[in-house]
A and B are shown apart, each in its own frame.
Chain A
Amino acid sequence: MADRPPIDVRVQAADFDVAAESERLARLSRNVGAIVTFTGLCRDEDGKLAALELEHYPGMAEAEIARIAGEAADRWPLLGLTVIHRYGRIHPGENIVLVVAASSHREAAFAAADFLMDFLKTRAPFWKKEHVAGAEAPSEWVSAKENDDQTVKRWSSSD
């Protein structure tokens, strides 16, 4: 697409700063009137979970997130889009994923962030393994949810 906004995709072990990332998109243009940020965190499942181990496919993870982000930018009038996905060992309360969508009006920013998260879950090559607190139980790979596959279908029936 000719007029794609700046798209920033990062796959990293390090944490990210939500406020700083939002601020960066706010400064891109005086036409930015809406910024939606979505942060996904590691939860402890009521004390059961000690940590998540996120495995990823280096190279494809970046490429696939960039493809999904490009689709969002083709679909909504965005002024900037940032997606950061972490890998490695992540503890409850820590950040896993960040989507920041900037646009002139809120509808596009909300929709793009929602779309990004639905497709990240089903298409970005990351896999979570749960390390259980207490360490008696073996670590288990998280199973994909069938309703995640159903959720993405709403984006094809709506247009």
Chain B
Amino acid sequence: MVAGTKDERGSKPVTNRSSAVVFFAGDSGDGMQKAGTQFTDTAAIVGNDVATLPDFPAEIRAPAGTVAGVSGFQINFAADDIHTPGDEVNALIAMNPAAFKAHIEDVEVGGIVIVNDSEFTKVNLRKAGYSEGYNPLDDEKFTLRYKIYKVPISRLNTEALADSGLGAKNIAQCKNMFALGLIYWLYDRPIDPTVKYLDDYYGQVKNLPEVSKANIATLKAGYFFGETTEMFPVRYHVSKAAIKPGKYRKVTGNEALAMGLVAAAKLSGKQLVYCSYPITPASNILHNLAAMRHFGVKTFQAEDEIAAVCAAIGAGFAGQIGVTGTSGPGMALKSEAINLAVMTELPLIIVDVQRGGPSTGLPTKTEQADLLQAMFGRNSDSPLVILAPQSPADCFDIALEASRISLKHMVPVIILSDCYLADGAEPWLIPDSCGLKPIEITHRTDPDGFEPYARDENLVRPWPVPGTPGMEHRIGGLEKQHITGDVSYDAENHQLMSVIRRRKVELVAKQIPHLQVHGESSGDLLVIGWGGTYGSILTAVNRAQQAGKSVSSAHLRYLSPMPGNLGDVVRSFKKVLVPELNMGQLRLLLRARFLVDARGLNKIQGKPFLVEEVEEAIDLMLGGVYGEREFLMPRHHQVRLEDQEYDLGGCQQDSAASIPM
């Protein structure tokens, strides 16, 4: 968004913008994630609010130059409070034809497209799937629509590093820094933080001073290219955001979650035992925690998903915090063991960083389709607690909250994060650890009158720890006799225990905050969501409210048990819209639980909602044109009634998106 004013900085005019969305796109090996991360860090350091969306292929190195191998990184940086990585790209950096092809449609009309002209060769155009003799850079369809700047980044980088002493391959690997330097110039960001990073990382950590020097040299070359060449008539400046003063760092969801778990361990005086099997996009929680041995963190890379959850249960039995992390396919494997924790009423935290499914699905793309799996995906009645973070930084708070509930209520807690939150980043106001509430845990040590399945006022059973004399007892997956915990097949007892297990989870609702409504507490439309869609929904609802529409929003961080006032909230609005990155899982629960005519906006594209998509759904709901349809799906970034039928070949679609009323 252009704010209008112009001033002079250096030799070029500078246009002030309130926000900008920059997208780095290139081959998997082109270092786009690094360039994007550096840009994000720098924007954060100079005081912008930031939100990011990394986007990379599931293959480590898909065939070079192909569309399948394109890796991208989107950054929204702003002078305002922002909650999403942005709908439209203002500036795209395309390092090769495939990157151009993959992402040109994301760019706003009139947007900036910087292409690495050196790579637009016949061979590369063919690899990108363009027909023989065609070059999109000569096509008016693009040249009239976008401001395309052809910069021979590869060649300029090679020339800048001709005397670096590096080989051709190493030189080529520096070209992301040339591109980054140019973007720093274009958006008036300082290069110093990246210079410092390159010096620390390559110079100190990797002990490759010549690589560090070369990267810094080409970063500067890129910056000076912008300044010197007549190519770019203006540059842009995004002022500092009015962010709450304090000390910040940028965090991704997975980083925040790892820190939250460590914090929970310290606050409860327990050891964190994190047991996991590598799986995208949860693996870097394991990596983060494995690097925290000096915080007393024990990580266990198990032989499979089942072993990971079982070891975490063993750790809980032995009196520590057992946590297992995974994604959807791993959740499916863990379900039997999660039920063991339900039956034995042991603390256990399960982190599910959701990705596109079913089956292997889309390993590196986001989705929030494991809600019903978390809720019901185990044999028999199996109540447990489910929480979902709403932003990358919120993963910290959710990890703390999950630990608190699990340890104090002797109940398994599932955290439903997602790929978008896990890899996405935002500024995090660093908390003072002294301000964090201790988690007080008592382990019964008095054998007098001890019964393993006696309960307190919250129906919580005691947690006596092996090693404690006189408290020897046996637990397991067989049904328990109420109070004694002995194995029992008694009919009435089984029903009683089923009621207790359910009631115990319901009682957790007493400890959790009521659902807050953003906006008026009643009105025409409530937009209610959960998890990683928070930013898109909030932004869309803010815009609707600014336009005078009677729309409020609410976001569920507690999905089981649900907040006590949820029924009153949804019944206070004439209409309810539930945007979800699945086929309508929360919608199903809300309809079943509260008999409310909730309608859906459902996107299953491996991508977060665009704000605009939610805005369109809001307008359709307010306009009463949803009609009989239970849900709508955005297609090609638009939500339109006429787009809802899919051509399924010979099979006539029986109005899948509508329900009989």
Q: Does chain A bind chain B? A: no
**Chain B residues within 8 Å of A, Cβ to Cβ:** none
